[in-house]
Structure 1
């Protein structure tokens, strides 16, 4: 593959500001000694500043990790702050600028992936400071275009997401177009040239160059919403071997059964093949099945998820929000070479407007993992069990307090310990956002 110019990402990153300058050049006429043109231009631009909104997002979190294979546990107290602003709209155009910074606060007994403390478990929240988003957007006639550094999240973020759980967010340098074709069909195309990953500004793996093309479409149907996706990802750097093409469909829906009762469901399948700089040939599948019931604030769901492996590699989701899937302990951030099957049960409860607590969300998740087995038909093998618990309070409109726990029992294959073994994790966070 012909290498792309390292200067290309920087050149494209300047595009939002160049576009803004061109735009202002059109709407601000040269000052004239006669006529009302300057006043008209000033009035036309007034919403750009007057209707601007601030962006503030601060999260303080304590994380504890107890993992087999490490003599010492990991303890981390980190803070993440984001500050920025989004302008008002002028002619459909808006400008958004946002910076972020992550810092450890005294409790630094953890491997941040860049601090060299490899004798302790990983807490992937390294110190960092960088531009998180810098985008110019236009909206009109049912279409939206965005260019620059931005969030891109598709469906439930199983393949393309922002990894919002970690302190350093994943964003993309991209150009994206969204719109509607008719009353029920939504379409989106995005071209990515850099993924700004969760490892932050001080890591060699903090940015991944790529040529990525994302196509997504969704349509409302009587029995749910059907979405289709096509992702062509050709990575240049650390992820080059994981380059792939993924095509798939997903159906999600719900329906009232009786007063206060609702059924919900989801089904998905994707097929992944080698693409671009992939290190070898492969063809792997992904399957999701889920069914649930909800009664007022209580819900119950059963799910099945399978990521195939061929003995050499597993189905890859390098740009996903991985923490949200296959257990909060993050044991399967990379799919094992022989694949993985996850059977899970989720019980959740929610109440709003509780005195002194505001909103309350409680959830327990149980996972049972097995080896998927190679195409030649090997027998499923135990990959362990995990349970997760979450409690979230919402005392104010922009304030959350969240406690989470994950316990993975570890696993054995052919009576020999493999993988990370047993691990337990605990998080306590508080988040404030404006707006």
Structure 2
């Protein structure tokens, strides 16, 4: 196991110091004895079928993620946290991103054991500081997320500050030195060294909340393609509610920066509403990641599974967009019945610009899930079916879209 960009002294401190706002421990040893350990087991069956020109290409995997963590009690404002993950594969055959089975469908859950989180925290003055490897999410995960859907989640090595000293105002800053990606330590792209600054400020009004952000990404890694992450993104997000309608409006602009091989300026736009009509919630939305002749808007730190459908056809090596840009019009219907939550979703995709053949149809996706929790247990069944539509070849990294069906059955147990 390796831990990039974290000094040994900090790792030792994470295991030797502790805190919560209660500051209940009277000594370092008591901080350990009053700490809490938790174990999570997540078993998943995933199957993929791709309807290629040569016939159906199928893959499946049964994986288990075992997660054990420990958080010390608080001592003079300090606390420590450490979390270990192990991913095992029991049966099935698929491309897990590192096993060399590139002819089979991708199920990006490589086996391995690693440190998922280890950090030293401090709370005081309505502020929380964290230094080390940590989970980091901002807003709806569109720009910064932890990709919790995959068995090996994405975490960040760095320093974060969260402040709420001013009433109704929340300030967040993060400096990221390394991204621990979902592909694991055995992959050449499992880590991305960075010198990235993230700023996020949110203020709550009577009618909703306003967020402004600046995400300044710079890759310090010379691996091919990582310099494409060098971008400056500035945006604003409004979340409001009126009557039975909750809505989100967001706009961001992005420019290439640093050593980015592209030279471009592109926009991001989101408009969505969720209408509560008991017992249903009906959601409608439209999202655009635009492109110009020199480049396209990217979100390489996002939880991409949450966006543009669940079959992940538009990941484009983790950039989250293709060279022509993507428009996503979507409709969801969700509710709760017999103690189970459920949702059905439909997406219609088109490119922001026509491709080289003059086409813009990126196809559509239909999917749904049903989930239930009881005590320490939870289970979910999810399905998604993507239809490629009239236009399959697009320019983004040689992307070719094919009809895809995916099925997941997931069980969780928490101790």
Q: Same fold, TM exceeding 0.5?
A: yes
* Aligned partner of residue 11 in structure 2, secondary structure: helix
* Aligned partner of residue 72 in structure 1, secondary structure: strand
Question: Which residue number in structure 2 is paired with residue 429 of structure 1?
Answer: 410
Q: Structure 2: how far apart are the matches of 1:227 and 1:415? A: 37
Is 1:246–2:233 an aligned residue pair? yes
TM-aligned CA distance change 1:18 to 1:428, over 3 Å: closer
Q: Structure 2: how far apart are the matches of 1:394 and 1:304? A: 31
Kept after mapping to 2: 8 A contact 1:372/1:380: no
Q: Which of 161, 171, 176 does residue 192 from structure 1 map onto?
A: 176
Q: CA deviation at 1:336?
A: 1.4
Q: Structure 2: how far apart are the matches of 1:345 and 1:235? A: 36
Q: How many residues align?
A: 395
TM-aligned CA distance change 1:72 to 1:383, over 3 Å: closer
Kept after mapping to 2: 8 A contact 1:137/1:146: yes
Q: Which of 317, 325, 329 does residue 343 from structure 1 map onto?
A: 329
RMSD: 2.4
Pairing 1:219-230 to 2, within 5 Å after superposition = 219-230=203-214
Q: Which runs of 5+ in 2 are unaligned?
A: 19-24
Kept after mapping to 2: 8 A contact 1:15/1:147: no
Question: Which residue number in structure 1 is paired with residue 187 of structure 2?
Answer: 203
Kept after mapping to 1: 8 A contact 2:197/2:215: yes
Deviations, residues 86-111 of structure 1 (Å, cap 9, x unaligned) = 0000111111011111111022x100
Deviations, residues 336-368 of structure 1 (Å, cap 9, x unaligned) = 1111100000100025xx4xxxx4110000001
Q: CA deviation at 1:17?
A: 3.1
Kept after mapping to 2: 8 A contact 1:339/1:372: yes
Q: Which of 273, 296, 301 does residue 319 from structure 1 map onto?
A: 301
TM (norm. structure 2) is 0.89
Question: Which residue number in structure 2 is paired with residue 411 of structure 1?
Answer: 389
Q: Structure 2: how far apart are the matches of 1:344 and 1:21? A: 46
Q: CA deviation at 1:282?
A: 0.8
Question: Which residue number in structure 2 is paired with residue 277 of structure 1?
Answer: 259
Deviations, residues 281-318 of structure 1 (Å, cap 9, x unaligned) = 11010000011211344100110000001244321111
* Aligned partner of residue 413 in structure 1, secondary structure: coil
Kept after mapping to 1: 8 A contact 2:330/2:348: yes
* Aligned partner of residue 73 in structure 1, secondary structure: strand
Q: CA deviation at 1:381?
A: 1.8
Q: Structure 1: how far apart are the matches of 2:394 and 2:141? A: 34
Q: CA deviation at 1:148?
A: 0.2
Kept after mapping to 1: 8 A contact 2:230/2:257: yes
TM-aligned CA distance change 1:320 to 1:367, over 3 Å: same
* Aligned partner of residue 182 in structure 1, secondary structure: coil
Kept after mapping to 2: 8 A contact 1:163/1:170: yes
Q: Which runs of 5+ in 1 are unaligned?
A: 1-6, 25-41
Q: Structure 1: how far apart are the matches of 2:268 and 2:388? A: 24
Pairing 1:13-162 to 2, within 5 Å after superposition = 13-19=7-13, 43-45=26-28, 47-69=30-52, 71-107=56-92, 109-162=93-146
Kept after mapping to 2: 8 A contact 1:68/1:420: no
TM (norm. structure 1) is 0.85
Is 1:386–2:386 an aligned residue pair? no
